Amino acid sequence: MLKAVAKVEKAKMALFIRFSTRICETTWKCYSISGVSPNFSISNVIPGTYQLRAWSKGVVGEFILNKSITVTAGRTTNLGEIVFTEKRVGPVAWEIGILDRTAKEFKHGDHFNQWGLPYKFPKEFPNGVNYTIGKSNYARDWNYCHVSVSIPGRGVAANSSTALSVSINGGKNSAEVANFKDDACVRRYGIRGFYCELEFKFGPNDFKVGENKITLHVRKTRGYTNNHQFDGYHIIESINKNNNYNNNKI
C-alpha cells in the first residue's frame, strides 16, 4: 500500500492521483482520488519502482514528484507530506471551459455518447466557432468536438491527424504543433482523449487596446477529417519581478 498527505495551494482541491511504472515491458498504472481531503492511499500495488503524478480540476498541467518511489511487497510505503505547487506565472485574464481533462462542459458534452453528434458540427457551426469573451456561453456556443470532413462520402470514423497553430489580430501564426496522437476519441464517441498541454507565447505588441481576435488554425495532416476536442483555454498575463508585463500565454 502507498500512503501520503498532499498539500496544495488551493483549499479543498481534490487530487486525482496516478501511480505508474513499467513491468514486463508494460506500463502499469494505479489511480486514486483524494477528494477534498489531502490524504490519499493506493492499495494492491504491485512491487516495483513508480512515478507519482497528480492533477486537479481547474489547474493547468500535472504535479509530478521529482523522485522515484519503490514499493516493497508486504509493506506500506508512507510518503509523508508532499507539497504540490501550481505552475502559474501570472493572473488569468480570461478562461473558456473548465480545466478538468474532459469536454463535458461544452455544447452536447452532457450527452456525448449519442450516435451522430459529431456529424452535427458542420451544420450547427457552418462558419466554425466564433466566441466572444463576456458575451458567449461555452455550454451553448462552443461544441464539445470540432469536426471537418474534407472528402464527400468519407465519415468521421476515418483515421485522421491534425496540426494546430495560433495567431492574434491577423498576425503571423505561431509555430505549428503537429505531433498529436490519434486517440480515436471523437469517432468512438468519447469525452476525453490523450491529455496534451499546449502553450503559445505572445508579446504585448501583439495585442491592441479594445477588441482582440485570437484564431486557432487547425490543419489536416493525415486522413480525411479533422477531429479534435479541447479541455479549456485561458490567457495568462506574465509579470516580471518589477511588476511589468512580459508577455501573454495562451
Domain ranges of the chain: 2-84, 92-240
How much of the chain, in percent, has pLDDT values that exceed 70? 75
Q: What sign results for the dihedral spanned by CA atoms 123, 127, 129, 133? A: negative
Please tell me which residue, 225 or 92, carries the higher pLDDT value. 92
The 10s digit of each residue's pLDDT in 184-232 is: 888 888 998 888 888 888 888 899 999 999 999 887 776 655 677 889 8
- Which has the higher per-residue pLDDT, 21 or 57? 57
| pLDDT-derived band at 156, boundaries 50, 70, 90 | very low
Task: Tell me: pLDDT of 5 over 80.
Answer: no
| Fold classification of 2-84 (topology level) | Immunoglobulin-like (2.60.40)
Could you tell me the strand order of the sheet in which 77-84 lies? 39-42, 2-8, 77-84
> How far is it, in rounded angstroms, from Cα 250 to Cα 235?
4
User: If you ran DSSP here, which 8-state letter would residue 226 be given?
Assistant: E
Could you tell me which residues come within 8 angstroms of residue 52 by beta carbon, excluding any fewer than 6 positions away?
17, 18, 19, 64, 65, 69, 79, 82
Which burial class, exposed, middle or buried, applies to 95 when counting CB atoms under 10 A from its CB (0-12, 13-18, 19+)? Answer: middle
User: Span 91-116, mean pLDDT?
Assistant: 91
CB–CB of 238/249 below 8 Å?
yes
Let me know: does 106 contact 232? Beta carbons within 8 Å: no
| CB neighbours of residue 247 within 10 Å | 18
- Residue 22: pLDDT above 70? no
**What class does CATH assign to 92-240?**
mainly beta
**What span, in angstroms and rounded, lies between the C-alpha atoms of 132 and 136?**
5
Q: Is the pLDDT of residue 140 over 90?
A: yes
